[in-house]
Amino acid sequence: MSKQTFKVLVLGPPNVGKTSLVQRYTQGVFEEKYNPTIGFDVSTEELVFPEGEMRLAIMDLGGQESFDDLRRRLFQGAHYVIIVYDLTDPSTFSEIPTWYETLCNEVCLPTGVFLPGSIVANKADLAKRVDTDRGKQMAKLLNLDYFEASAKSGKNVSEIFARAASQCHIRAFGVKDDTTTELIMRS
Ligand SMILES: Nc1nc2c(ncn2[C@@H]2O[C@H](COP(=O)(O)OP(=O)(O)OP(=O)(O)O)[C@@H](O)[C@H]2O)c(=O)[nH]1
Ligand SMILES: [Mg+2]
């Protein structure tokens, strides 16, 4: 049987650390220099669960405004979203609802159905300028999980992607809880 592929979007304003989080997770590296993502990048993860195998296609979308049309097209068919802001830059936090709203409009979910996902407050290794409580409140409002992370230190990076895998696992195999997440084996 062919493996089901789940599309995980990583999105948010430019320079917040989307690519850094993905690279930390997939390659275990961190780059200090900022190289804006031109368009998008895709990395795949093969996951093995007791119920079977599945694939995550992690799509890291460039945050610059010029990619707006491309992004909207890539939103379609998404299964999970990781929306990132920079907790040293309050303006990126205030953009989160607009990013999520644009995404939900494009994904065209049935009424009352939410796209599962998480809000990630990145750069937690630096001095915070957005309170944790505000981030958590925003996540609650949008029905998303909340993580404070650092692509630089590695804080919570594997937890963010484990959560994405776990939610896609529930969807793929109809399991009721996500306790099997620790059984994930990366190949
Ligand atoms: N101190 C610190 N710097 C970070 C962290 N994550 C990313 N950075 C830095 O922030 C800058 C932007 O990181 P990127 O990952 O390229 O940002 P992006 O969100 O992918 O940006 P676009 O591709 O333009 O949308 C780079 O200089 C990174 O080194 C972090 O957790 N801590
Ligand atoms: Mg990038």
Q: Which ligand is nearest to the CA of 152?
A: 1
* Residue ranges of domains in the chain, CATH in brackets: 4-186 (3.40.50.300)
144/118 Cα distance (integer angstroms): 5
pTM listed for this prediction: 0.93
Ion ligand 2 residues within 5 Å by Cβ: 18-19, 37
- Ligand 1 center from residue 15 Cα (angstroms): 5
- Ligand 2 center from residue 30 Cα (angstroms): 12
| Token pair recorded at residue 25 | 């997770």
Q: Residue of the nearest CA to atom 13 in ligand 1?
A: 17
- Ligand 2 center from residue 49 Cα (angstroms): 30
- Ligand 1 center from residue 148 Cα (angstroms): 14
Q: Residue of the nearest CA to atom 6 in ligand 1?
A: 17
pLDDT tens for each residue of the chain, 187 residues long:
568 999 999 999 999 999 999 999 999 999 999 999 999 999 999 998 888 899 999 999 999 999 999 999 999 889 999 999 999 999 999 999 999 999 988 887 777 777 899 999 999 999 999 999 999 999 999 999 999 999 999 999 999 999 999 998 888 777 765 444 433 333 3
| Token pair recorded at residue 80 | 């999970």
Question: What DSSP string runs through 73-124?
Answer: HHHTT--EEEEEEETT-HHHHHTHHHHHHHHHHHHTPPTT----EEEEEE-T
- Ligand 2 center from residue 77 Cα (angstroms): 21
Determine the atom of ligand 1 nearest the C-alpha atom of 150.
31
Question: What DSSP string runs through 36-61?
Answer: --SSEEEEEEEEEETTEEEEEEEEEE
To test the pocket of ligand 1, the residue of 20, 21, 130 to mutate (highest count of ligand atoms within 8 Å of its CB) is 20
Q: At 165, is the secondary structure helix, strand, or coil?
A: helix
